[in-house]
Amino acid sequence: MSGRLTVIGLGPGDACWLTPQADAALATAEAIYGYGAYLDRVPVRPGQARCPSDNREEQARAVAALAHAANGANVAVVSGGDPGVFAMAAAVCAEIEAGPPVWRELDVAIVPGITAMLAVAARVGAPLGHDFCALSLSDNLKPWELIEQRLEAAAGAGFVIAIYNPVSRARPWQLGVAFERVGRLLPGSTPVVFGRAIGRADEHVEVTTLGAAKSTAADMATLVIVGSASTRIVAREGRTPLVYTPRAMARTDQ
């Protein structure tokens, strides 16, 4: 079995975040699978097959890429951000587990990338500077009740919360409900960051508070960070405020 499958994180929209490891893996692949919008970010190379698919077809894409690799090819699958965070690496692992035994003999490698929450955090300071969690708000793949339980557990325990997939056309209401749920546990002054299309020409970052945050400020390209009770906003004249969560917690600050 000489096939190889590499799952590659492209990072957020700007090539300044594409690691040398990802660049090298892209250059040597014989075929590249991915959601069309991510594949469009990969330079066209002669002799390299490009296999775009829709963004709802992760499992089918994983199966196609694994089958291609099992024929002896050096195949890549690309994800935006990091492939291990709400992305293709888990889909590939699940299909390896469910698939024919020869798929377990493939050389499989995962190339990490800058995931969206790190890029959004960097734009405003260090909101993820202390304990935090990453949560997908999509209930396509898990029940909404569980999402609410996790939001409440995280906010109640003092984790900063990075919200992936905050809204979609089919789910316009969930972020508003999420704000309402965590708002029962956190002060209205808690900082909230909306980071949209980071690293792309239409990038937009907004710093607000839980009391003032409007769920309509988010779309499918947005990553939302909800601070903890410790998270702070530092105003700066003529500049975007800094948002950070202190590394140190006073003994009384629980």
Kindly identify the residues of this chain, within the stretch 140-179, that bind its own copies according to CB under 8 A: 141-143, 146, 149-150, 153-154, 156-159
- Of positions 42, 69, 77, 135, contacts its own copies by CB under 8 A: 135
**Least CB distance from residue 102 to its own copies, whole Å?**
11
Binders in 11-40 for its own copies, by CB under 8 A: 11, 14-21, 24
**Least CB distance from residue 6 to its own copies, whole Å?**
10
For Cα atoms 180, 243, 17, give the angle at the middle one, nearest 5 degrees: 105
Q: Could you give the string, one character per residue 204-243, with x where binding to its own copies holds by CB under 8 A and - elsewhere? A: ----------------------------x-xxxx-x--xx
In the complex with its own copies, which residue's Cβ is closer, 60 or 153?
Answer: 153
In the complex with its own copies, which residue's Cβ is closer, 151 or 217?
Answer: 151
In the complex with its own copies, which residue's Cβ is closer, 50 or 133?
Answer: 133
